[in-house]
Chain A
């Protein structure tokens, strides 16, 4: 087993253990919230999911810039892996949010700016993944998708800032670094961060798996070209 595989197992195991510990605290130790009841516990996953999603798209954007600068394929691998993970976590974020909304607002979905922008972000990055499939030449694909990835990040910024720019139905910021503190019970804020770490570890493990795959895929592409040449 290579060092990288060991690292993957280590990250996944740490993340998994932390998730179990967090779930234990969230489900069994935290009391129900006064206004929302039990359902508020979804927030301990919903909010960190979006943190992961923003982080992943930011990483993809940085990797894309680095690719255009250094022209090394490894940055393209990082970008596509990060975008895929971002898309998965966007989906989880939307679904968990939707289930929460069904209980609290009585509806699955509303065209509130925050929700709308989150959905647009999902569409934009799905477009990115589709663009990659439409280009055959690896260099051309890396270059053009890197450009798209930089454009796409604008929608992530808007999603992040939507709660400040518009009056939204979506709850406002909770973490102290944005609100100045006092909006949330300190233990709950810590738990959000713990879960962010736990999901982050899992996401990192998945990212490494995905990176491996992308490398093997390039190897396959190279071999295939050689077979065609023969």
Chain B
């Protein structure tokens, strides 16, 4: 019982941080995607302005 009690405590804490970390990773991925889109659009507009 005590053994399991202890492992489950760690599972719980690990799970909490894992979810938070997963969200932050997801945020980072989205950040990259949005930045790339922004770059692409800016470049497109610049090229249009030149011509």
Interface on A for B, CB 8 Å cutoff?
23, 36-39, 41-42, 45-46, 49, 84, 88, 91-92, 95-96, 99-100, 102-103, 202, 206, 209-210, 213, 216-217, 219-220, 223-224, 226-227, 230
Give the contacts of B1-51 with A (CB-CB under 8 A).
Answer: 1-2, 4-6, 8-9, 11-13, 15-16, 19-20, 23-24, 27, 30-31, 34-35, 37-38, 41-42, 44-45, 48
Secondary structure class of chain A's binding surface, majority of residues: helix
Q: Are B30 and A213 in contact (CB under 8 A)?
A: yes
Q: Which residues on A sit within 8 Å (CB–CB) of B44? A: 227
Q: Are B19 and A213 in contact (CB under 8 A)?
A: no
Number of A-B contacts (CB under 8 A): 85
Chain A, residue nearest B23 (CB): A88
Interface on B for A, CB 8 Å cutoff?
1-2, 4-6, 8-9, 11-13, 15-16, 19-20, 23-24, 27, 30-31, 34-35, 37-38, 41-42, 44-45, 48
